[in-house]
């Protein structure tokens, strides 16, 4: 494969042709912030916070979409770039709750991290704010669309699963939001609570209901575990606070994506100090069920009973 050589912040670097500026900068050891970018599903370029200054370009360039080229000269932290990033953060904060002290995502929120990095203490933009009701209809997932930054990561990861595609962008302009079909709540949608969307959300718009109030993000230690309830071998994380498992969550992108609720519930039963009470949807309503039913073991137990007879 052919290579290209470019200069990033005065450092010359050679990368394979087709490499994005973002990946080239990362390889060279330079930081570029991202919100909508997802390495396993790249090329979206919606949030524009990853813009860089390319010599000769008419405007700042989205580094997650633009390919590196021979002779390209790039600055990742020029004055124009920093001002653009500050403005983008201010625009997001203009319609974002400021409850960071009590947010479950505090300490693991990219918007919070970038506001700190670029010294954005408050938004300079005034105007109408959203006041969406919090959707806690799903027994496992809480959706707070007031905190959503419309990065689209949840939409794209849900689309990756065949026949899933539960959520998408709805409405236009200021009223744009991420929602299931017909703008219903999550419990009334076709969501199977696999939690793929939660692991890619960069802010606190999507959180695990069972982990709410149990620990701050910096108190949690994660250890990988492989689900053995089927031969897919999905990867999850055991979430420890001290020596106790307080929950089971999806793994980071590229490290294994869970595709079913059964595996996560089963691992909760095996490892958690206080496992969840399983719930399944029956007649469009979530109801508590036994672990045997939740894990699909009723047929197996019935067969064993028949063999005993």
pLDDT in tens, 236-276: 999 999 999 999 998 876 655 666 888 888 888 888 877 76
- Asked if residue 9 lies in contact with residue 30, where contact means CB atoms within 8 angstroms, the answer is yes
Lowest mean pLDDT among 43-47, 73-77, 101-105, 283-287: 283-287
Judge whether 165 lies within some domain: yes
Among residues 7, 3, 2, the alpha carbon closest in space to that of 56 is found at: 7
Share of the chain above pLDDT 70, in %: 92
The domain boundary residue, chosen from 209, 238, 266? 209
Is 197 found in the same domain as 152? yes
Does one domain contain both 55 and 105? no
Could you list the residue range(s) of the whole structural domain that residue 123 is in?
Answer: 99-209
Integer Cα distance of 51 and 170 in angstroms: 26
Please give the pLDDT value at position 277.
74
pLDDT band for position 287 (cuts 50, 70, 90): confident
Average pLDDT over residues 52-69: 96
Domain annotation covers residue 118: yes
Tens of pLDDT, residues 158-167: 988 877 889 9
Domain count, the chain: 2
The percentage of the chain sitting over the pLDDT mark of 90, rounded to a whole number, equals 63
The CA distance from 249 to 255, in Å, is 12
Q: Are the CB atoms for 8 and 20 separated by under 8 Å?
A: no
Residue 299 pLDDT greater than 80, yes or no: no
Q: What is the mean pLDDT of residues 17-38?
A: 96
108 and 205 in a single domain? The answer is yes
pLDDT at 20: 97
Q: Is residue 228, in this structure, part of any structural domain at all? A: no
Domain identity same for 48 and 117:
no
Instruction: Examine residue 168 and state whether it is found in any structural domain, yes or no.
Output: yes
With a cut of 70, say whether residue 124 has pLDDT above it. Answer: yes
Residue 270 maps to a domain: no
Q: Which of 209, 227, 257 is the last residue of a domain?
A: 209
Q: What is the pTM of this model?
A: 0.85
Residues 154 and 202 in one domain: yes
| Higher pLDDT among residues 176 and 298, named by residue | 176
The answer to whether residues 247 and 208 touch, using CB atoms and an 8 Å cutoff, is: yes
């Amino acid at each position: 494969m052919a290579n290209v050589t470019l200069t990033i912040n005065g450092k010359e670097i050679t990368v394979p042709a087709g490499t994005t500026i973002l990946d080239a900068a990362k390889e060279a050891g330079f930081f570029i912030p991202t919100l909508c970018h997802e390495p396993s599903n790249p090329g979206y370029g919606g949030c524009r916070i990853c813009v860089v200054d390319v010599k000769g370009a008419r405007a700042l360039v989205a580094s997650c979409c633009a390919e590196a080229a021979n002779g390209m000269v790039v600055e990742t932290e020029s004055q124009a770039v920093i001002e653009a990033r500050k403005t983008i953060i201010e625009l997001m904060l203009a319609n974002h709750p400021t409850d960071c002290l009590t947010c479950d995502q505090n300490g693991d929120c990219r918007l919070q991290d970038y506001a700190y990095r670029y010294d954005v203490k408050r938004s300079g933009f005034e105007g109408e704010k959203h006041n969406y009701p919090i959707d806690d209809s799903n027994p496992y997932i809480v959706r707070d669309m007031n905190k959503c930054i419309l990065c689209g990561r949840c939409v794209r990861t849900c689309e990756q699963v065949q026949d899933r595609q539960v959520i998408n962008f709805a409405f236009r302009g200021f009223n744009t939001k991420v929602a299931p079909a017909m703008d219903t709540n999550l419990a009334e949608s076709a969501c199977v609570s696999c939690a793929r969307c939660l692991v890619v959300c960069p802010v606190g718009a999507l959180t695990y209901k069972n982990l709410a109030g149990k620990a701050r993000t910096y108190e949690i230690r994660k250890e990988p575990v492989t689900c053995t309830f089927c031969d897919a071998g999905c990867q999850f994380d055991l979430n420890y606070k001290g020596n106790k498992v307080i929950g089971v969550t999806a793994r980071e992108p590229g490290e294994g994506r869970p595709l079913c609720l059964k595996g996560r519930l089963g691992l909760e039963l095996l490892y958690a100090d206080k496992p969840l009470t399983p719930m399944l949807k029956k007649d469009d309503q979530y109801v508590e069920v036994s672990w045997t039913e939740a894990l699909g073991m009723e047929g197996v137990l019935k067969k064993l009973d028949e063999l005993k007879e």
